[in-house]
Structure 1
Amino acid sequence: MARRFPVYAVGGLVLLLGGLAACSPLKALNALSPAGASTATAGVAYGSGPRNKLDIYVPNGGATGAPVVVFFYGGNWNKGERADYAFVGRALASRGIVAVIPDYRLYPEVRYPDFLDDSALAVAWAAREIARYGGDPARLFVMGHSAGAYNAAMVALDESYLAKSGMKTAALRGWIGLAGPYDFLPIVNKDTRPVFHHPNTPPGSQPVNHVGTTSPPALLIAASSDSLVNPADNTGRLAAKLRSTGVAVTELYYGGVTHTTLVASMAAPLRGLAPTLDAVDSFVNETPRTP
């Protein structure tokens, strides 16, 4: 059974996690997140490269025809490890969802758009193979946080990436973005600039420029006071573009969380910060499967 923390303890946990930088707040979240609701399969290859590996989290006791979420972590495209996000996989599995968390190549090994090819390859793997783990490929979603939300958006909105694996974006039932950068030109962050070939960043790198009438439904969540990725310029603009094109979009802004703690609020100890997991659960389970 998941350990539940009273609301008054959440603030203390946030301070505790903030003070654990030396041993990684993400590792601390994993340590505090119960694993009993899920069964993990780690290090499954979805491609030939050393970072083309993924972990799978299945609801404890197995699954049959369960919805599937492929989750991409953030890290400004220059850092991140799938194992650090076990708390996300466990959270999704606790709601009956089969979660897939891939690694992807990072800068400086690669730049845009190579990490998007990796992301699409992981999604294509899930479409082909996830039935073996109890997932339903007709109930396939992509999701990400921060830079990972960008990856999810591009895979969902730009047909060219999945097409390399013989897939169409219509195979996705929807996508979920947490605090994602979707319309960020000109690039201000100096660490991000070389990833996107600044000053020659192509307009096609921006998710907002790939919205079309056949784009899959979206759930966009942001921290209302995000100081790293401006929610109005990114979540707001993309939501407006989707809506104006006739695409179903749910747009949510939460107070009391930051850019970082928005994804952390999916972990069992911090769910009092924001109903992020509830929103994802509702979106995934209320969206019908592909006919």
Structure 2
Amino acid sequence: MRNPLCLPWARMARCLAVPLVVILALAGCSGTQVLNALASSNTYTLQADVPYGPEPRHRLDIYLPTRPAATPAPVVVFFYGGTWREGSRKDYLFVGEALASRGIMAVVADYQLYPAVTYPSFLHDSAKAVAWTARHIAGLGGDPNKLFVMGHSAGGYNAAMVALDPRWLGAEGLSPGILAGWLGLAGPYDFLPIENPDVMPVFSFPGTPTDSQPINHASAQAPRTFLRAGTGDTAVEPQRNTMQLARLLGEAGVKVDFRLYSGVGHVMMAGSLAWPLRAWAPVLDDVSAFVLAPP
């Protein structure tokens, strides 16, 4: 029988990570505070509170990799989840740090939330943040020709709509053609009729237009696509959302990098980007491989 003290590294890391996070959570920290507290501060230089538009929540934080690079860094604009009702870019330092640790410049953007706004205002905000990045990131050492948009949960929806529906970047004088790719983590891409009472007023249900759904914008014009979800996700059903969108895009001829992680839940799809939870699922490895791959 295998010696229990000689567990494979991945299993051992998972055993150690949970008690550590629980201890810090019991000390009064939220989940994201715990992950941010554990993140390295040596992998990035932070440019915080950069305005990309006129509203108070039109702000973004930029994580510049400290790793020396011979060429400009690829850039990922990240949108967080929270049912379009809550969230702050400051809660996602662990995401910015994770990407910067792999030599990727990360832009973590706020957007306006319900009840201050409803659909589609947060999509206009998301496109505005991407447009600002496309026009200014070269001055910070980023490569505008290697620009990606990425999101988790509700942020995955935002990323999908910016990448797949040309209306939003079009309002900024650009098109999804500026993107080298997009990445969705456990995003809702097909959720009509809306059943979640928290989401109903955000999308003015039952008057929600059908063109609000990313699956209705799957076409051959879509950028290269990365889709991930977990089989343990009970918040956003992975087969209906992630698997269906991957199938539709693939049938349209789009290059799709698709995978379901066994047993991984909704929150852990983003949480596993952080140390010490990276052994839970290879999300960071997979994201990095997609972003850093040759065109």
TM-score, scaled to structure 2: 0.93
The answer as to 2:64 corresponding to 1:52 is no
Deviates more, 1:79-88 or 1:246-255: 246-255
Aligned to 1:35: 41
Report the identity percentage: 54
How many correspondences in the alignment?
A: 284
SS at match of 1:31: helix
Q: How does 1:241-256 map to 2 (within 5 A)?
A: 241-256=248-263
The 2-side partners of 1:204 and 1:247 are apart by 20
Aligned to 2:129: 122
CA contact (8 A) 1:54 1:100 kept: yes
The answer as to 2:17 corresponding to 1:10 is yes
SS at match of 1:196: coil
The 1-side partners of 2:153 and 2:52 are apart by 23
Aligned to 2:7: none
The 2-side partners of 1:17 and 1:153 are apart by 34
Give the drift of 1:23. 3.0
The 2-side partners of 1:7 and 1:134 are apart by 36
Unpaired runs of at least 5, structure 2: 1-9
SS at match of 1:43: strand
Give the drift of 1:217. 1.0
The 1-side partners of 2:128 and 2:231 are apart by 32
1:55 partner letter: D
The equivalent position to 1:211 in structure 2, one of 194, 213, 218, is 218
SS at match of 1:235: helix
Deviates more, 1:201-210 or 1:11-20: 11-20
CA contact (8 A) 2:67 2:103 kept: no
The answer as to 2:176 corresponding to 1:169 is yes
Aligned to 1:24: 30
The equivalent position to 1:193 in structure 2, one of 200, 205, 211, is 200
Deviates more, 1:231-240 or 1:58-67: 58-67
SS at match of 2:245: helix
1:273 partner letter: W
2:29 partner letter: C
The 2-side partners of 1:219 and 1:17 are apart by 32
Q: How does 1:142-161 map to 2 (within 5 A)?
A: 142-161=149-168
The 1-side partners of 2:208 and 2:26 are apart by 37
Give the drift of 1:41. 0.5
Deviates more, 1:252-261 or 1:177-186: 252-261
- 1:101-124 deviations in whole A, cap 9, x for unaligned? 010000000000000000000000
The equivalent position to 2:264 in structure 1, one of 238, 257, 266, is 257
CA contact (8 A) 2:25 2:34 kept: no
CA contact (8 A) 1:173 1:287 kept: no
Give the drift of 1:132. 1.4
**Two-structure CA RMSD over aligned residues (Å):** 1.6
2:227 partner letter: L
Unpaired runs of at least 5, structure 1: none
Bigger-Rg structure (1/2): 2
The answer as to 2:230 corresponding to 1:223 is yes
Aligned to 1:72: 79
1:173 partner letter: A
- 1:198-229 deviations in whole A, cap 9, x for unaligned? 11111010000011111101110001120000
The 2-side partners of 1:9 and 1:78 are apart by 33
The 1-side partners of 2:53 and 2:180 are apart by 24
CA contact (8 A) 1:10 1:273 kept: no
The 1-side partners of 2:283 and 2:19 are apart by 19
TM-score, scaled to structure 1: 0.94
